[in-house]
Structure 1
Amino acid sequence: MFVVTDSAAEFYKSEMELNQGDCLRLFVRYAGSGDSGGFSLGVMSDRPATDDFKKEVGGITYFVKPGDQWFVDRMKLDYDAKCGGVLCDLPSMA
């Protein structure tokens, strides 16, 4: 469903001071207009429910609520050292 690379996982662990076993919720946000129709990716600390889609990377559980799965379908989060941030490839917005 979605990919979080090891380098992106390390970035989140460092920037958000995450520990082994912590969880991050990935969700769709509406923030105006733009190439993605105003949609963007939100990230927050949270705990998954039973029916959420979950993926563990580097000791951190990344998860998506069922209502947000359409947005992260085939998404790839990767860290780019040149720009110093996470790149979010969202095929659902192409």
Structure 2
Amino acid sequence: MKLTVTSAALAWFREEWGCQEGDSIRFFVRYGGASTVQDSFSMGIAKEQPNEAGLSTVEDGITFYMEQDELWYMNGKGLLVDYLPATDEVVFKLD
């Protein structure tokens, strides 16, 4: 399993959230909503430090991660985080 954050998503986090080197972005599981990854669940995003990161990547000094107890959401696959300018949204796909 790996976590991939595209350059478009990285640029979006820098511009919209003011992220800079040393920051951490958590992707977490929420019950409800629409998702391309799991039915009845969706992904949330928070700017916070990891507690027990199970999967992470560092892009341009920013740590992106998921906690260990939420990795079930990906069914053993990697997670691709992208940004779509046409709809102005961050999207998640199994990779």
Task: Check whether TM > 0.5.
Answer: yes
Structure 1 runs not aligned, ≥5 long: none
Q: Output one character per residue of 1:6-30: Cα deviation in whole Å (capped at 9) or x when no partner.
A: 1101101211111211001111110
CA contact (8 A) 1:21 1:60 kept: yes
Residues 63 and 82 (structure 1 numbering): CA distance in 2 closer, same or farther, change over 3 Å?
Answer: same
Given that 2:35 and 2:43 are in contact with CA atoms closer than 8 Å, whether structure 1 keeps it comes out as no
Q: Which residue of 2 aligns with 1:84?
A: 88
TM-score by length of 1: 0.79
Q: Hey, which bits of structure 1, 4+ residues long, moved more than 2 A?
A: 32-37
Maintained 8 Å contact 2:29/2:42: yes
Deviation at 1:58, TM superposition (A): 2.3
Indicate the residue corresponding to 2:18 in structure 1: 17
CA distance 1:24–1:34, shift in 2 (3 Å): closer
Aligned length: 90
- In structure 1, what is the equivalent of residue 59 of structure 2? 57
SS in structure 1 of the partner of residue 86 of structure 2: coil
Provide the TM-score with structure 2 as the length reference.
0.78
Provide the identity percentage. 27
* Two-structure CA RMSD over aligned residues (Å): 2.1
Q: Which residue matches 1:44?
A: 46
SS at match of 1:21: coil
- The CA distance in 2 between the partners of 1:83 and 1:32, in whole Å, is 17
Taking a change above 3 Å as real, the CA distance of residues 79 and 37 of structure 1, as seen in their structure-2 partners, is: same
